[in-house]
Structure formats: structure tokens, C-alpha cells
Amino acid sequence: MNLRSERLLLREWKDEDVVPFIRMNDDPKVVRYIATFTDRTAIYRWINAQRDHFKEHGYGLWALELPGSGEFIGFCGLAKVPYQAHFTPAVEIAWRLNASYWNHGYATEAASSALSFGFERLGLSEVVANSAVQNLSSRRVMERLGMSHSPDEDFNHPLKAEGDLLLRQVLYRIKARDWLAQ
């Protein structure tokens, strides 16, 4: 199912998204605080996994399109956390934008639509988000959404090795009752 926010279309992935998505992930600014894809095959596998997630759960990480130009500018959405940690099982919210579209409020706008869908339509009771401790832009999105952070919930990412600069992660949470009361 697609969603519409004030300035964005949140839609399922098209084959035409592959090239701009590869270009976006080739930008060192975009992947500074996140895991990079090892090769093109991993990118195709990841997009197919998003399509499967939509089929299985009825939600996922939506591709973000600017209505009018039809331009692909990134993704944002909801997904089952794909690893075990102290807060799982859980549904997380995540985002990644082409750097040309940072600082316009698009990530927060798309995330607000995704959270409304998650709480109002899917009936989720809580959504979490995590990022590398140093990823302040992403943490500001979480904070603008009204998500809360307890330092005692910070954790080492189970898919990262000791010594990895992105090992230490912050965890933010928002409950349905708090979102719906905002």
C-alpha cells in the first residue's frame, strides 16, 4: 500500500529505483554512519527483500518519490528488526535520503506518515529506531518525531564486530499512545 504525505509519495519499489538507489549508496556522505553494500548483487537482494517484506507484512521500507518530477529520493518506513537484541522482537522505523534532499524536512515528514500508518492502520503498540551513537542527523529525526532515548538501552549492534566505529548504537522508542496523543 502506498502512502501520501504533504510533499512525498511513499510507494513500493520499482525497477527504475535501482540506478538512483545505487548512486545514493555510492555517496560516502550517505553511508558514513551505516553499513555499506558489499556489491551490486547485495543491493538487488536488499530491494527484493523489501518487496517480500511488503508482501508478507503489508508494510515495509517505502521508496520515496517527489510527486510531479517522479524523482526517487530515498526510502523511509517500517520493518521487523532483522536481528536479536534486548528490545526485539520489535518493529523499527528507518530512513535514508539522497544527500541532495537533506535539510528539507523530508525524512521527518515521511517518517510521520509511516508512524501514523503503523499506529492507526496496523495497530502497532510501539516502534523503535536505532542509529550509530555519532549519527546526530538521524537522532534529530527521532527526536523531532517525539521518540525517546534512555542511555541505559544503548547496545552493541549484533551484526558489527568489536572495534567497528559503528558498533555502539542508541535506541529510541515511541509508543502508540504517545504518538496518538501528540
Ligand X SMILES: CC(C)(COP(=O)(O)OP(=O)(O)OC[C@H]1O[C@@H](n2cnc3c(N)ncnc32)[C@H](O)[C@@H]1OP(=O)(O)O)[C@@H](O)C(=O)NCCC(=O)NCCS
Residue 101 Cβ, how far from ligand X at the closest point, in Å? 7
Contact 98, 113 (CB under 8 A): no
- In this structure, the number of other CB atoms found within 10 A of the CB of residue 14 comes to 12
Closer residue to ligand X (CB): 124 or 147: 147
The helix-helix angle for 18-25 and 40-57 (nearest 10°) equals 120
Query: What's the CA angle centered on 106, arms 17 and 149, to 5 degrees?
Result: 110
- Letters for 71-110 (x = contact with ligand X by CB under 6 A, - = none) are ------------------------xxx----xxxxxxx--
Rounded to 5 degrees, what are φ and ψ at 84? -95, 135
Confirm or reject binding of residue 34 to ligand X (CB under 6 A).
Answer: yes
Closer to ligand X by CB, 3 or 30: give it.
30
Residue 112 binds ligand X (CB under 6 A) = no
| Of residues 23 and 177, the one with the C-beta less far from ligand X | 23
Contact (Cβ atoms closer than 8 angstroms) between residue 158 and residue 85: yes
- Residue 163 buriedness (CB in 10 A; 0-12 / 13-18 / 19+): exposed
Minimum CB–partner distance for residue 75 and ligand X (Å): 9
| Minimum CB distance to ligand X, residue 27 (Å) | 9
Least gap, CB of 32 to ligand X (angstroms): 7
In the complex, the residues that contact ligand X under the rule CB under 6 A are: 30, 33-34, 95-97, 102-108, 131, 135, 137-138, 140-141
